[in-house]
Each structure stands twice: as structure tokens, then as C-alpha cells.
Amino acid sequence: MKLQRKNMLRASALGALVVSGALVLTACGSDDNTKTADGTAKPSAAAAGDIKCDDAKGKLLASGSSAQKNAVELWVKNYMAVCSGVEVNYKSSSSGEGIVAFNQGSVGFAGSDSALKPEQVEESKKVCTGGQGVNLPMVGGPVALGFNVAGVDKLNLDAATVANIFNDKIKKWDDEAIKKLNPGVTLPSTAIQAFHRSDDSGTTENVTKYLKAAAPDAWPHEAAKKWAAPGGQAASGSAGVAAQVKQVDGAIGYFELSFAGSQGIKTVDLNTGAAAPVKATGENASKAIAAAKIAGTGCDLALKLDYTTKAEGAYPLVLVTYEVVCDKGNKAETLPTVKSFLNYTASDSGQKVLLENGYAPIPAEINAKVREVIKTLG
């Protein structure tokens, strides 16, 4: 099964990363996605060959999104193995904490599962001298709904039912709404234990954006980083939610797919209105992310995702993690390392690493623009 899963994820890189023709961008760099800025062909993807240390040196501090923790740990390991004398230290906390740290000037970049708000951009101008914070999409993937219900190996849910579970309206696993979506499955009367994030989280914001878009009648709360629904239990970070789901019979929670894989947690298939419920896989997330449009302007590459897609095989509960950087006004002592490290994460080999860990690479056309922006950082 593990091999089959890896093969499915690798396939996503080949066939699913085509971006909607409606995508429009006024960017810092060239719109020619087949060449680098100097007109030469893009380099091939070699594991170490895509790591260019350049003038990187010393220690680079970064923090934020726990959803991208597993990806960043791999990137850091690979990067530091090549660039001796450089230390990249990423503190996995939450998107909210990462943006606060960035706007306080204490980190070289922040990871966030949601784009900067206008007021956060304004605040960033205080530390980005002559510039501002911009969003560079770097990690894609499905937000899994992990469950632990004794005797149940497969579970289908739709957006309205998920909303009612997390909104404390559906309290037992044998509720009629759940049974209707799972004919032939014996569901116990076990009480539902719904776990959500305790910290301000971009993952939470993406989950609530999905629920607000796909089940507006069942989810009356606004999409936000802070959990607003009544009931349920809270845990810190994606790892904390996954650990609780793993331990508690009757539990359900949300976290990035790699946390489900590493903990051996079963995940919900989503009934989207397509011919069949859709599994949470990197391949299926790529099909949804590939339809994203760039909503940012200039160097900002914030994306607009479609959480209501009914396309066959498209898993709509997805997130894109951004690395938040200054377009201008970066600290001189860390700028070379920021550019060197992000050049690797956005490289062909850096993106391919994502496939091995339940993530989805950023669609190729968008990723080409990310690389162009990184070159212009000052």
C-alpha cells in the first residue's frame, strides 16, 4: 500500500499540475515559463544540483505553519547537507505565530497556510524597509479529516455533515446523516470526539473556508484562523490534533495528510457531488490546486482556491502554504541565505521531495513565477 501511495503521488507531478488558462499575473519576473531570466533553459532536477549555496552563511531563523513542518524538515536536511556552515532553523508553531514573528523582524521568512491580510501587509512595511511582505506559494496538499472509530475502516462524509460534526450538531457515529452516506457500513453509537486547533492556524482557516463555501447553511461561522464553533476539544498544532485522533476512540480531526500517514490514521473520503467520493491524496489535491488563480499583484502570488469543485477526482479540502518574505528591505545578513534556501525549495528537486511525504507540488506555471520573484528579492 505504501508503494502504491507513493506511485500515485508521483503521478500527480506528471499529469495534474496544469494551471487554469484563466490565471493572470502582473509579476516581478518574466512570463516565459520555459526559461530563466537570462533566457537560458531551466536546469534539470538533480537532488543536490538544485541546491546553490551562493553567498549563504550563518544562521537563518524562520517559523510558522505546522502543516508544512514535515516538508521543511526534509528541505532543511537536504540543504544543510550541501551548504556547510549554514544553519536553517524553522520553528513549527502556527501560521499566526509565524506572521507575528515576521512582522516583528525576528525571522527571515514565515510559513503561513493563508495569505497575508491587508492589515498584516501594512504592518510588514515597518520591517521591510522600502518594501512589504509578499506571499510565495511553496507547499500544496490536502487537509485530511482523520478519524478513529473502532471497527470502521472506510468513511464517506460530505461538507454539510462535516460541518454539523464540528459544529456540535451531530454527536454519535451512527447518526442517520452519516449512515446515509455509508450504506453497508456498520457504524457504532460511539460518541463523536471532534478535535480542532487551539492556536491561530492557517489550516483552520482553510478548513473553515471549505465549510463556509461548500456547506454555508450548516456552517454559520466566518472563515478564520481562530476556531469559532462550539464544543469539541482543542489541541496545539497539526501534530497535536493528529496525536489526539490516534489515541481517542470516536475521534475526528483535521491536519495535513503527512501527519495521517506518519501516524497510520485513516482519512475521510469526501462526497463532493462527483461520481464517487474523493480520497485525500496528493494526486487528488493537485487536481483541485491546479485550478487556482493568482489573486495577488506584483510580486505577491497569493492564490484563490476553489473549495466547491465537483471535478472528478478533485479533493477540494486543500491548503497552500506560503513562505512570507519581504520583496524589498530584507536584512543584509540573512538575504543571501533566504534566497539560496527558497531557490532550492522552489526548484524541481525541492518540489519533488513533497511527493514523498503526502504533499502536492505547486503547479508548474505558478512555481515558475515563484522562482522569478525569488531572484528579485532585495
> What are 64-107's pLDDT values in tens digits?
998 899 899 999 999 999 999 999 999 998 999 999 999 999 99
Looking at the chain, which runs of residues are DSSP E strands? 58-64, 86-92, 109-112, 133-148, 156-158, 193-197, 233-235, 251-256, 266-267, 269-271, 293-294, 303-304, 318-326
Contact partners, residue 150, CB within 8 Å, separation at least 6: 188, 190, 249
**Whole-prediction pTM value?**
0.76
Phi, psi of 295, deg, nearest 5 = -100, -20
DSSP 78: H
Burial (CB < 10 A; 0-12, 13-18, 19+), residue 91, is middle
- pLDDT, one tens digit per residue, over 189-235 is 999 999 999 998 889 999 999 999 999 999 999 999 999 999 999 99
**Residue closest to 180 by CA, chosen among 210, 164, 158, 154:** 158
Mean of pLDDT values over 272-300: 93
C-alpha cell of residue 7 = 506511485
How far from 9 is each of 14, 57, 130, 205, CA to CA, in Å?
Answer: 10, 34, 41, 25
Matching residue, cell 501587509? 121
pLDDT at 48 over 90: no
Could you give the angle at the alpha carbon of 254 between the alpha carbons of 284 and 325, nearest 5°? 80
pLDDT at 43 over 70: no
pLDDT at 44 over 50: no
pLDDT at 41 over 90: no
What distance in Å separates the CA atoms of residue 71 and residue 62, rounded to the nearest whole number?
Answer: 14
Could you tell me whether strands 109-112 and 58-64 are parallel, antiparallel, or unpaired per DSSP bridges?
parallel
Could you give the percent of the chain with pLDDT greater than 90? 77
What distance in Å separates the CA atoms of residue 112 and residue 49, rounded to the nearest whole number?
Answer: 28
DSSP 128: S
Burial (CB < 10 A; 0-12, 13-18, 19+), residue 375, is middle
C-alpha cell of residue 316 = 477540494
C-alpha cell of residue 84 = 556547510
What pairs with residue 255 in β-bridges? Answer: 144
pLDDT of residue 22: 30
What distance in Å separates the CA atoms of residue 49 and residue 182, rounded to the nearest whole number?
Answer: 49
What distance in Å separates the CA atoms of residue 35 and residue 170, rounded to the nearest whole number?
Answer: 53
Residue 371 CA from chain centroid, whole number? 18
What distance in Å separates the CA atoms of residue 158 and residue 117, rounded to the nearest whole number?
Answer: 29
SS3 133: strand
- pLDDT, one tens digit per residue, over 106-132 is 999 999 998 999 999 999 999 999 999
Q: Interhelix angle for 2-15 vs 282-289, to 10°?
A: 20
Q: Determine contact, residues 318/143, Cβ cutoff 8 Å.
A: yes
